[in-house]
Amino acid sequence: MSRIALILLLAVALLSPPPPNKSGPRVAGLIAVTAQPLALDSSDPARTLLGPLRYLGGWALRSDHDDFGGISSLRAMPDGSLLALSDSGMLLGFTPGKARGFIAPLPVFRAERNWPGWKWDSEAQAYDPATGRYWVSFELIQRVCRYAPGYARVEACRVWPAVAAWPDTGGGEAMARLPDGRFLLFSEYAYGPGGVGTDVLLFQQDPADRSSVPPLRLSYRPPQGYRATDAVALDHDRLLVLNRRVTLHEGFTAVLSLVKLPPLRAGAVLVPRDIARFAPPLLADNFEALALSRENGRRILWIASDDNHQFFQRSLLLKFALPDDPGQ
């Protein structure tokens, strides 16, 4: 396959809705997951350092289940497992090194149970450790929903006018919940206020609650040619943002950036500082998911890729040790 043909396929995969489900009714169950170990740098298999990150391992994940893949967001669980959301509204649970995982559709309202899986293009999730609740951002239907602990049921959803105005496949691509309970929701393609960067909405309250006040519009100035695909709060005033680009020359590349938050008021601009770049010969694919955890007292950063359910892409999972101050 020529490079131009490959890039065209990648562009179609990025801009199109997720493919229809092949497996009929979507049900919860156990799945087999294989994890092939990978070197960070194919030209130097011993390499472990990438900017402030120390590589602890990486895997190409596979499963025979039709709905496995499409990983768009990630959360590290207290038991060491990972909980991912796919771009067709599926929960995927797995642990590197273990052959068994699980898969389950996100709970939906009764009136929406017959909607096709591709309509549930879940792109980002956030979590409140105090209540155990989750929030999920959906493209295409352009809504934010709140879920009970353990994703037991959907509690509330809301479509905000500012989100509905975003492109269908460029909506709420990344979402971060700050320690004080505010939420940042990043559009992938919509311009920010005054045409600066891309649009970011700051929710002072629960974005799924109908009584919440309208969000403030901010903007995010991504690295040149890149778009934000996920974000996670390091603390009260710092974010890590994952950014993606696809070009004829390099295919998929990604940049991990650190953002020092300015005073968050209408019109504020979030300016990233790049701390790591993923491009060949390093592992590089359609990276869309970030998660943080703690392991033996050190902070762990997880990065996962969305294979778009395409044969020419992979579901990659990378694990790094992250210093407490990655900006140094």
The residue with tokens 């311009």 is 191
pLDDT for the residue numbered 231: 98
**Domain presence at residue 215:** yes
**Domain presence at residue 10:** no
pLDDT for the residue numbered 22: 47
**What span, in angstroms and rounded, lies between the C-alpha atoms of 242 and 190?**
17
- Reduced to 3 states (helix: H, G, I; strand: E, B; else coil), residue 5 is helix
pLDDT for the residue numbered 5: 47
**Domain presence at residue 285:** yes
Question: 54-81, pLDDT tens digit by residue?
Answer: 999 999 999 999 899 999 999 999 999 9
Element (H, E) at 113: none
The residue segments making up the domain with residue 292 are 28-322
The residue with tokens 């049921």 is 153
**Domain presence at residue 242:** yes
Question: 130-168, pLDDT tens digit by residue?
Answer: 999 999 999 999 999 999 999 999 999 999 999 999 998
**Domain presence at residue 287:** yes
288: pLDDT strictly greater than 70: yes
**Percentage of the chain modeled with pLDDT above 90:** 83
3: pLDDT strictly greater than 80: no
Element (H, E) at 164: helix 161-164
pLDDT for the residue numbered 312: 82
CATH (domain of 59): 2.115.10
> Of the candidates 173, 88, 76, which has an alpha carbon nearest to the alpha carbon of residue 127?
76
Share the mean pLDDT of the chain.
Answer: 92
Across the range 13-37, mean pLDDT stands at: 72
Across the range 238-243, mean pLDDT stands at: 98
**Domain presence at residue 8:** no
**What span, in angstroms and rounded, lies between the C-alpha atoms of 186 and 207?**
13
Q: What is the pTM of this model?
A: 0.93
pLDDT for the residue numbered 13: 53
Q: Residues with Cβ < 8 Å from 294, sequence gap 6 or more?
A: 300
Q: Is 110 left (phi over 0), alpha (psi -120 to 50) or beta?
A: alpha
Confidence of residue 27 (pLDDT cuts 50, 70, 90): confident
7: pLDDT strictly greater than 80: no
**Domain presence at residue 4:** no
Question: 92-109, pLDDT tens digit by residue?
Answer: 999 988 999 999 999 999
19: pLDDT strictly greater than 70: no
299: pLDDT strictly greater than 80: yes
The number of distinct structural domains making up the chain is 1
pLDDT for the residue numbered 247: 92
**Domain presence at residue 132:** yes
pLDDT for the residue numbered 96: 87
**Percentage of the chain modeled with pLDDT above 70:** 92
pLDDT for the residue numbered 117: 85
9: pLDDT strictly greater than 70: no
25: pLDDT strictly greater than 70: no
